[in-house]
Chain A
């Protein structure tokens, strides 16, 4: 037994309202830089739907993850080592920017500087890649909320085998949201695909990171990850991925996406696992066994033998304590309501999901029956093959049995708690029918429904004796600003090159954010003065260029048809000479 600790996450899909707050806050924190405009470490996709990048789950096409060879060994689906080296000059299966989407901004300058005219000026979309005007035809959430589902969701790779049963009539469809981040896999195929060995799994907490100093831009990891959660920064020429917000985790606070989640549906905690058994579990023959196999790799932190081995492996005492309290452990291994996303990729993902019961509940409600009655719910779970089979394609490689079990537990909890809430006698037979005790069911309810902050996040801080190596502590120091190099984000070899480029994550991003807000350029080269990217504006202060300069506003905004000489008479000007942002004639009738 070789005990290792893994920081893991569980998301309760019933609670996700698809608000994309998690995506936006993550972007604000980590990818609001040039080169990562199209990158969403966290994205939320509507299912059924194509996802982001488009149709990424179709591994016959994208060749991510591992496959099992006939002799029982694992092989990278995109080809082994020699194969990779031979195709290194041009990766045969690299998603193009079009498969994600071409990021854009709007030509706000036209709006701001347009003279008063009959028709309202429009801000045309402009590509952030080429700087040219583009026609927006796709983006990361083009099929949000089943928009255009006949065209898009119908192509969802996970509908294979059940497509004929799923109707995309609006009144008959079901849908739910699937927030996705990097899975921080136990057997990460991204790391295995990296020719330079720049992607590594941290021994302490299992977080998978790209060493930016060792990455050489061979872009094989992008193909290697079946979840398409490694992205290529097209400005720096390096791969980047979700970091599980390690600077925050190291000081014991949750990831940005979890902290800001509106539905409060994310759980973060430790899992102890036996590193010696990972490969064996990932290589089981039947895909349907992968879910159980992965669960068998996890170690019970309450078991004294495990605790002894963990201590021997150098895992600190407070981490073992935290593992005992881990909500992730409870949801995955005690209540068994969380399932892995696509175990069939054999990467042993570590962000798990509680599948949504809501599609089932909705159907019962629509038919006028009592949607909180256990028997109605159980009958519906058995009868409704569509959501169940679809969920099975996502979470258990198509095996409906575990999905059924989870849904029944959720259904049982629903009707059991109704009795309690209505002041009726709780029925012990309900938890029993799904193999749980009353106490367990109540505790599960508290964890899932009450979901107190301290229950959702049990994150032991990294150790004090290693404090010199903690990202956030080092960056917190106010005097680190004295080092000019930190603020020199670009050397002579492109964005971020030189020593100054590799700055503490937090400072680097804030600095770059500030630069982007004040930058004149849309893409490298070519000046587009006055253009503002509002996506990167945090609402504080005024981004430069959003409004014309005060000093020069007077001579910049001539009133058409009146001659340039009488700017004072122009109703489109505020009294201090600043142009009105919307350029409409003022109702207050000119200068006072």
Chain B
């Protein structure tokens, strides 16, 4: 046990008066935490320096606005802001970690605590909300974790499998069908005209199938990413594939560093799927691809000028494109979203972290 000062002396120091004004100053000045209040309906009624730093709104900009502006579209659509308030009312407190939006639309990984505030007569006075920006800690954890290694492994395994299938189709099915097509054409020149027409139809359908198989192998194993890096891979993809669809395309990029192969593949595969959707659904005339370094990762946008049709709630056909894009981004530790406004086109936007390469496994199990 250590020697303790006499209790009375200690107590006198501790109870030094802290006026309400001083306390307000303290809260206002804290930079590491966003601390602010909501009224019972969820409108922002106070704001501090930390909230401004983390979320990018000045007090003048945000006071009086509903706190759901901090949530990504998909969370808003799912009713998460309201649900969080209701939970805080029911349980007294709610804690959550997830993506939130800054004023400029970019995302950060937030730790959020919402506390219900009650008046003396038990009426709901509003909510206290404390927000921390955990983006850096999350990125650091993610980069080191076993999860990252698994993710890299998964991406590579899937690519290897796809490459194998693509080469099998290329080396066997396509070559055999090309041979068949050539022989059919040769035959058509040698038989009486009555049969020739039928042979030509056969030959045309064989050529159609060859083209489809060629596109399939291309989709499975797009040439370029592994050899020349992300930007050139995307650029070639735009030229080879999107160019052939007759879409005007533009490509803007600003990358600080080349990502790991796994990150590059993740970005490429999501862009590929998004572009395929533009082709299949958008009726667009132009598509813009933007790739840039942001928040320690890569922010990508695929913007079309098509119909911007709201997502069809088609129950007959299953849609995997959107699910797969989102899963890829989230498994990589990032986020994915799609905005669509009728008449103005669709924007697919996603961010994935761009960590340093993981060191090779040394503690491999036998």
Q: Determine if chain A interacts with chain B.
A: no
Using a CB–CB cutoff of 8 Å, the interface residues on chain B facing chain A are none
Using a CB–CB cutoff of 8 Å, the interface residues on chain A facing chain B are none
